[in-house]
Structure 1
Amino acid sequence: MKLKRLLRAAAALGFAAFCCASGSAYAKDSLSMMLNYTVTGAVAPFYLGKVRGYYDAEGIDLKLIEGHGSGPTVQAVATHNVDIGYADFSTMVKVAAMGAPVKAIGVLMQENPTSVVGLAEKNIKTPQDIKGKTVAVAPGDASSQIWTMFMNKVGLKDSDFKTITGNPQTTINAVITGHADLLVGFATIPLITVEEVTRKPARAIRFADYDVNVATLSIIARDDMIKDNPDLLRRFMRATAKSVDAAEKDPAAAVDALLKTLPAAGSRDTMIRTLQATIPFYRTPETESQPIFHVSAKNIDDSVASIVQYSKLDASANAPAKYYTGAFVP
């Protein structure tokens, strides 16, 4: 009888151990990602992946956190406040050059949409038309990082126009209210917002049209995360590539997924329009037939070289490999 009780106890312990092992095998890895800014249609692909279970299928419990600009997002990654981030490449390079242990592991927006944006009725069509106007700039914002590059390229000086500063929303409001003729920002959300509020057409002078183009919004990870959790990052990138690919095919479905998660995030129509305006910047002419995240080496090399030049960094100590790895791109 005593032997039977011992056998039953052993069997129970074995079953419990099996259950614990099974639970561990199916436990998902928690991963937090801070976005570049507040939630808009531009980040809907990440929510589509969550709702459709793409991250779950890779064993990832992804937590998305609103950001307050690319600079704070990069700092949050560097200081272990979040695991990874979605932030501007040039901002990341500048922060990393000062010692932050971060690197881009995937470039989603390979073509830069940064522009000066204003109402079409202002008749500002070329860089020289900016002279004598008032320009609203958000210091530290992703777009402001290459504003100086653009000015140098087209021969503009600070004295050629009046500058007012504020956060990104303030710059949009300044154009809407007439306190500024132009704002420095992406030719996506700011342009769409100006048009929708004023009910007037807006125009963008894109910096890329004047050969000022650096890679922009990217997935950012810490060096220790890259070293210690490569499999997790590969799984994340696989799920994200699948999410973005699905959003490209059906932007409305991506926005619906976002609004299912955050019903008060904003207007469905505006978010769809924003995502549709963002998608063309995922690739350059060099990569238009390539899968998502397949950025060209030339794009990375040229982007880093431009940032290093205009940030007055030592080129010999700032090779592209310091700031980007394609090892996790599916």
Structure 2
Amino acid sequence: MRVASSTALKRLPTRFSIWAITALNLAWIGAQTGRAADEPAPPTAIQFTLDRPLDASNAPFVLASSHGLFRAEGLAVGTKIASGPADAIARVASGSSDLALVDINVLVRFRDKADAAPVKAVFMLFNKAPYAIIARRSRGIRALSDIEGKTLGVADGDFSIWFWPALAHQNGIKLASVKLAKFSPAVREPMLSAGQVDAVNGFSYLAGVNLRDRGVPADDLTVLRYADYGCEAYGFALIVNPAFAAGKPEAVKGFLRAVIGGTRLAIKDPARAVDDVLTLMEGGSRDLELARLRAVISDNILTDEVKRSGIGGIDPARFARSVDQLAEDVKFRAKPTSADIFDGTFLPESSGRLIH
């Protein structure tokens, strides 16, 4: 088998060279002429985008690649990193990426624009959003009600704060009693560990886990998950370019089947899954990433709803309630329905989506 040229490899991001090299080699093979009549068709190339740097939460996609699940579906998947969810959605909308993983609530806001491309989600990976308040017990915060009179740090661009007004309202917390301190994402954990704020808003599997690596004693941290206090929001979803979905529906279905398989593998053996992820990361900590993946599986992926109904879908009534909660902070031109944002026609039957 011919490999990609060294010039081409130099242009590839280091951490994703394994996926990208595979895509290049398979694309080269498929481009050759003179194949025997009984040879299989060349794989379908898919450009996939993550909206943030790789970590263990992306294990389902890494395992789908490393275990040959994409290849078994006739797919050659290349992966790139966007600068954030807005960039990832823009890439899918323009067609420069076929699929991307983004928070569905960012997609909801994107679609509310008058000129928004009709991008939809086709698979829900995080049945519960990872939004959380991470606080110091030593600052007197053990439950959400203790946040009154405290200072809550919020990183610039942290969209999970959109649900804070609804969360406060549901739990009888006076918004005016909580001081919001805004700062760069780079200093969120350091400011909490240094005691410059009483709590920070963010993702439970990111800030909630990263702080363990900053010298904050585990028994001094409390993670107050929005989902535990009435937030109905869904989290990360796979979105697809409309033209790609219309032109290559079987490729989209195959991608989802591979991701479901990768998710099952990650749940079955998180330690091995993290080892695969670490081969694509630069300087990742195995202990930290294993804690991250276990948190994501228990809190966001393998929920009671998923155990009952299978992974990947959404409940229209719950989605409507989540939009109502979002609307306490976001002003919509028109509140979307689940059918406006989510297309479940690419999902396998529920029996093929069960995960235990």
Please state which band the TM-score falls in when normalised by the shorter chain: 0.7 to 0.9
Q: Per the alignment, do residues 199 and 176 of structure 1 end up closer, same or farther by CA in structure 2, a change over 3 Å counting?
A: closer
Rounded to whole Å, the distance in 1 between the matches of 2:183 and 2:118 is 29
Q: Deviations over 1:131-164 (max 9, x none)?
A: 2322111243342232233233334455323322
Over 3 Å counting, the alpha-carbon distance change for 1:125 and 1:230 in structure 2 is same
**Hey, what does 2:257 align to over in structure 1?**
238
**Structure 2 residue identity aligned to 1:257:** D
Q: Given the alignment of the two structures, is residue 261 of structure 1 paired with residue 280 of structure 2, yes or no? A: yes
**Amino acid paired to 1:328:** F
* 1:255-314 CA-partner distances (Å, limit 9, x unpaired): 11112233x251111111100000021144333233322433433333344335642324
**Alignment pair present for 1:79 and 2:97:** no
Aligned to 1:190: 207
The worse-fitting range, judged by mean Cα deviation, of 40-49 and 236-245 is 40-49
Contact 1:188–1:274 under 8 Å retained in 2: yes
Q: Secondary structure at the match of 1:128?
A: helix
Q: CA deviation at 1:19?
A: 1.6
Q: Residue 70 of structure 1 contacts residue 142 of structure 1 at CA under 8 Å; is this kept in 2?
A: no
CA RMSD of aligned residues (A): 2.3
Map Cα deviations across residues 61-104 of structure 1 (whole Å, 9 max, x no partner). Answer: 11222233323322222233322111111111001111232111
**Distance between the aligned counterparts of 2:241 and 2:327, measured in 1?**
21
TM-score by length of 1: 0.86
What corresponds to 2:193 in structure 1?
A: 176
CA contact (8 A) 1:136 1:166 kept: yes
Mark the CA change 1:276 to 1:196 in structure 2 (over 3 Å): closer, same or farther.
Answer: same
Q: For 1:24-74, what per-residue CA distance to the aligned partner results, in whole angstroms no more than 9, with x for missing partners?
A: x43222212221311111112211111111011111111222233323322
1:123 Cα deviation after fit: 2.2
- Aligned residue in 2 for 1:159: 176
Instruction: Work out the CA distance in 2 between the residues paired with 1:116 and 1:17.
Output: 57
| Shift, 1:111, TM fit | 1.4
State the SS of the aligned residue for 2:279. Answer: helix
8 A Cα contact 1:91 1:145, kept in partner: no
Q: Does 1:226 align with 2:241?
A: no
Q: Which amino acid aligns with 2:90?
A: Q
Q: Which region of structure 1 is more displaced relative to structure 2, 118-127 or 207-216?
A: 118-127
User: Is residue 115 of structure 1 aligned with residue 142 of structure 2?
Assistant: no
Residue 109 of structure 1: how far off its partner (Å): 0.7
Is the CA contact 2:232–2:319 (under 8 Å) kept in the aligned structure 1?
Answer: no
Which residue does 1:8 correspond to in 2?
A: none
Aligned to 2:59: 44
Q: Identify if the C-alpha distance between structure 1 residues 135 and 308 changes in structure 2 by more than 3 Å, giving closer, same or farther.
A: closer
Query: Greater shift after overlay, 59-68 or 213-222?
Result: 59-68
Q: TM-score, normalised by structure 2?
A: 0.80
Partner residue, 2:107: 92
Counterparts of 2:111 and 2:247 in 1: how far apart (Å)?
19
Is this contact kept in 2: 1:116–1:206, CA < 8 A? Answer: yes
Partner of 2:341: 323
* Aligned residue number for residue 295 of structure 1: 314
Whether the 8 Å contact between 1:70 and 1:88 is mirrored in structure 2 is: yes
Q: Between 134-143 and 38-47, report the one with greater CA deviation.
A: 134-143
Cα distance in 2 between the residues matched to 1:70 and 1:205? 24
Aligned identity (percent) is: 25
SS of the equivalent of 2:346 reads: coil
Indicate the SS of the match to 2:35. Answer: helix
User: C-alpha displacement at 1:327, in angstroms?
Assistant: 1.0
Any stretches of 5+ residues in structure 2 without a counterpart? 1-31, 349-356
Residues 134 and 181, structure 1, Cα contact 8 Å, conserved in 2: yes
Residue in 2 that maps onto 1:106: 123
Give the equivalent residue in structure 1 for 2:143: 126
Aligned residue number for residue 19 of structure 1: 35
Q: Which runs of 4+ in 1 moved over 4 A?
A: 20-23, 155-158
Q: Please state how far the C-alpha of 1:229 moved relative to its aligned partner.
A: 2.1
Letter in 1 for 2:292: T
For 1:28, the equivalent position in structure 2 comes to: 43
Aligned partner of residue 19 in structure 1, secondary structure: coil
When residues 282 and 157 of structure 1 are mapped into structure 2, their CA distance, relative to the original with a 3 A threshold, is same
Letter in 2 for 1:66: I
Following superposition, the deviation at residue 17 of structure 1 comes to 6.6
Pair 143,167 (structure 1): closer, same or farther in 2 beyond 3 Å: farther
In the TM superposition, what is the alpha-carbon distance from 1:20 to its structure 2 partner?
A: 6.8
Q: 1:329 to 1:167 in 2, by over 3 A?
A: farther
- Structure 2 CA distance for aligned equivalents of residues 205 and 132 of structure 1: 17
